[in-house]
Amino acid sequence: MNHFEYRDGVLHAEDLPLTAIAEAVGTPVYVYSRATLERHAQVFAQALSILPKVHIAFAIKANPNLAVLRVMQREGFGADVVSGGELARALAAGMPAADIVFSGVGKQHHEMIDGLVAGIGQFNLESEEEGFELAAIAAARGLTAACALRVNPDVDARTHAKISTGKAENKFGVPIDRAAAIYARLAALPGLNMRGIAVHIGSQLNSLEPFEEAFAKVGALIAELRVMGQSVTHADLGGGLGVTYKAGEEFPTPEAYAAMVASATKGWDVTLMFEPGRVICGNAGVLLTRVVRVKRSSNQVPFMVVDAAMNDLARPAMYGAWHDFDAVQPSGQRMTAHIVGPICETGDTFAMDRETDALVAGDLAVFRTAGAYGATMASSYNSRGFVPEVMVDGEKWAVVADRILPAAISAAERVPDWLD
């Protein structure tokens, strides 16, 4: 469920017509619903309440906007971060350092220091080499880093290749058949408190079976470690639960996911950690855009050119991803169109041969399910700047990220004297 619905023929975000935002802020613009964010967070947490010990850390990479993070903080979520910048955002949003998990394969020296100094709750180590480095940094400062070792279970998540993270050829984690020995070596190092195992096999999963396969391997590893005399008190099961991008699609519910986890982890006696991202914020946002013109240069399907582009919403160009596209004020008439942006690349295509509401120049439309991996993946390609972000709360709304104009970007550049 989301709070983007038609009222009197106009698409609203909660109680606010999207036409009002377009008039005040311009387009393109991301629009988030606070009510949807809160509801999705509460549904996910409630589903997991059947488990004995749970920690939920919102995957900041999905949507790092500070207002979104504040909503997550108010719902009791911690943060899963993958950079020093995301760590700073989590802290700025009021998330307790003890509830922050630092993941990612490329943690740099200064980022490890930042995490240690902040007192974060856990580092998810992606390699033995990373563990040695973190141990040295922590020990030199008289600190101890609580850590989980991320394993690669070699499980096919059956998702897009670019967001699959649990197969042997993916860069994430250590091979699960080597994990016990690596864990034991790292546990012997001063500066580290090895306390758990982490796994994350991919994003946008449409089946629970890959999760079950991966968790079975993790359970066997935990048992092996305990036989070896190692302590395992935490298991980070990552995220990955998919959401509906195309009307009519069905994905496992949080309740079904929680029931599967309860069965798969029975007897583990650990704190189970989760890193939801897309499942919380995906359907909580739309990208509001305006039609520039409809290009009818032949008897073929026309090109509907909108003012949003691949630099604003990269998923269709990067993954061939589908986003439902709907008029803000539908006339009831339909058309088939290629929906494209103004970037000078053929890849700037949102949809081909899409049946959609009939639109003309100046009409407003939305790309739905744009609350995750939308604004956060934007660029300034073609010197277009960055689109603003708005959050709606009932009839109230606020710009929660300003539009960054091309002039502001070029103002940060300079031409050296020796080029004159």
As annotated, the active-site residues are 344
Place of tokens 């990479």: 61
CA 45, distance to chain mean position in Å, is 17
Nearest to 243 by CA among 184, 294, 336, 315: 315
- How is residue 298 written in tokens? 């032949």
| Dihedral over Cα of 247, 250, 253, 257: its sign | negative
Report how far residue 345's alpha carbon sits from residue 127's, in angstroms, rounded to the nearest whole number: 38
Report how far residue 267's alpha carbon sits from residue 214's, in angstroms, rounded to the nearest whole number: 16
| Dihedral over Cα of 219, 225, 231, 236: its sign | negative
DSSP 334: E
Burial of 342 per CB tally in 10 Å (0-12, 13-18, 19+): middle
Q: Which residues pair with 404 in a beta bridge?
A: 386
Report how far residue 76's alpha carbon sits from residue 54's, in angstroms, rounded to the nearest whole number: 12
CA distance to 159, 199, 206, per residue, from 202 (Å): 7, 10, 11
Largest Cα span, the chain? 73
Work out whether strand 10-13 and strand 4-7 pair parallel, antiparallel, or are unpaired.
antiparallel
Q: What is the DSSP string of 276-328?
A: --HHHHGGGEEEEEEEEEEE--SSSPPEEEES--TTT--HHHHH-----EEES
Report how far residue 223's alpha carbon sits from residue 232's, in angstroms, rounded to the nearest whole number: 9
CA distance to 62, 67, 175, 235, per residue, from 135 (Å): 29, 34, 21, 21
Contacts with 130 (C-beta within 8 Å, 6 or more apart), sequence order: 105, 107
Nearest to 328 by CA among 363, 369, 371, 287: 363
Q: Which residues pair with 365 in a beta bridge?
A: 289, 327
